Amino acid sequence: MSIPTPHIEAGTGDIAKTVLMPGDPLRAQFIADNYLEDVVCFNKVRNMLGFTGTYKDKKVSVMGSGMGMPSIGIYSYELYNFYNVESIIRIGSAGGIADDVKLRDIVIAMGASTSSSFASQYKLPGTFAPIADFGLLRKAVETAERMGIKVLVGNVISTDIFYNDDMETNSLWKKMNIIAVEMEAAALYMNAARAGKKALSLLTISDHIFTGEELSAEDRQKTFREMIEIALEIA
């Protein structure tokens, strides 16, 4: 396949080597409007907005991924394989599962377990473990420490189901020390592995599965800014 692709209308050189990927395309626009200079919009197909600009003299792109593994699977595949992107940093929200995970915490997904069949396409003779790029992970932890921001590093669960009919699912993952639940990281990590590229998922805890707590809109904006700034620093 050549570029533009069916989902991204950018041309050669329009996208930086590092792309930040929030799920919400409007958050991509927020980042472009508030953090980047000399911004150019490179994608409006399906309203999945993408922008390229500079942050502290570094060329950085930001683009929405949509919700779920099928959606981020499409966009990250095309970015890695057709636009020569080297690193994708997911910046999204997650639901807390572990008891010691609190609202506003930032989780770095070292691994992304999954109940999805996404890996079946590779016809592997066993179970694949989707993991983050260690270099990006280490830089994120060091950057957060320098900025005085608390982060938790561990294993998350990437699921295809938001409204799960099985009410025991999260309890079963909890006993395996899964710290949070989200819907995209595993597919991103698998696409990166297959392409020989880099990926990392930074997640803000916006609600807790077992306590029922959730952030207000104001709290989300403040905490998401911290996650965004870590990602921009390591881009």
Number of neighbouring beta carbons within 10 Å of residue 225: 15
Torsions phi, psi for 87 (to 5 deg): -140, 135
Chain-centroid distance of CA 110 in Å reads: 12
Rounded to whole angstroms, the Cα distance separating 167 from 5 reads: 40
Contacting residues for 34 by C-beta, under 8 A, at least 6 apart: none
Say whether 160 is catalytic: no
Catalytic residue among 24, 33, 166, 207: 207
Instruction: Identify the CA nearest to 227 among candidates 117, 97, 91.
Output: 91
Catalytic positions: 207
